[in-house]
Amino acid sequence: MDKILIHEVGMRDGLQMEHESVPTEKKVIWIKKLLESGVDIIQIGSFVHPKYVPQMADTDELFRYFKQPENRPANIILSGLVLNEKGLERGLACGVDMFCMGVSASETHSQKNTRMSIDEALARIIEMAKMAQAEGKSIQASVQSAFGCGFEGIVPANNVLRIVDAYLEAGIKHISLADTAGHANPIYVENLFSAILEKDDEIECTCHFHNTFGMAMANCFAAWRTGVVAFEASFAGLGGCPYTAVAGGNVCSEDLVHMFQQMNQRKEIDIDPLISVAKEAELFFSREMPGMVYKTGAISDQLSSDTKAN
């Protein structure tokens, strides 16, 4: 299998549901620690109107800071979420490496999230993708509510595959499936990703699972076994979509990295900075986080402690 890629989305998806905004200075500290971990991609924020998502009001400022060579390792990609042409324009101006954009496979979710139908949103996103590609930027196009919708329930696989076909026709090969409502299960994950990967040998698939019903880690494992190479996760397991019926956090970054490292994958990632950010998030938000490894430490740490004790 190809090398696993870890896409840390905590600074965007993790924080967008929080009522208390994290100060820019603290975000800089957290992002620097995430950079130290050696994950492959870090999503700095989203280019949305601060009236609707005040937690993302400093996204442009953060990108301008971290696009400076002295503030980031050259091998780590900085991604940003865009919803419309204005957001794309802002992202191009402040140094986004990879643009993430998407379309919901659920009509109800699409209307609540974008006030557009699926077809309207799809046409718009494809045009935006072409604009970004013309500027030499990388694109990740997602299908949201790919495994089910909090309002509609089952989302037919054909809804998802139709959007994927439109992406491929437009020359977009980096495709993500997002489990916005947390309805995915491992068997369906295998089936849906298999159907997509059969379409084109050049497709690079990303998965984005929410742990609303406790299946996110199992779904990540199923996706990996199917051939998915990139995994979006959030430190401390923070996150959730504000436009779904029941919001659940993302799969937890430090837990996911720990699982893969126990499987002899991505052992070069330093899990300690991820754990450190999770602990800082617990202190800042004054509540216990959903993640596990930040509380227990890695298995290797426990074994090392036991050896010393004996």
DSSP notation for 211-241: -TTS-HHHHHHHHHHHT--EEEEBGGG----
Catalytic residue among 100, 149, 207, 241: 241
pLDDT of the residue at 241 = 63
Low-confidence ranges of the chain (pLDDT < 50): 1, 245
pLDDT of the residue at 1 = 47
Cβ atoms of 286 and 267 within 8 Å: the answer is: no
Annotated domain spans of the chain = 5-309
pLDDT of the residue at 229 = 96
d(CA 27, CA 229): 28
Tokens 């298995």 map to which residue? 299
pLDDT of the residue at 247 = 58
Share in percent of the chain as helix, strand, coil (round to 5): 45, 15, 35
The helix or strand, by DSSP H or E, that contains position 134, with its residue range, turns out to be helix 118-134
Identify whether 241 is a catalytic site residue.
yes
> Is 5-309 in CATH node 3.20.20.70?
yes
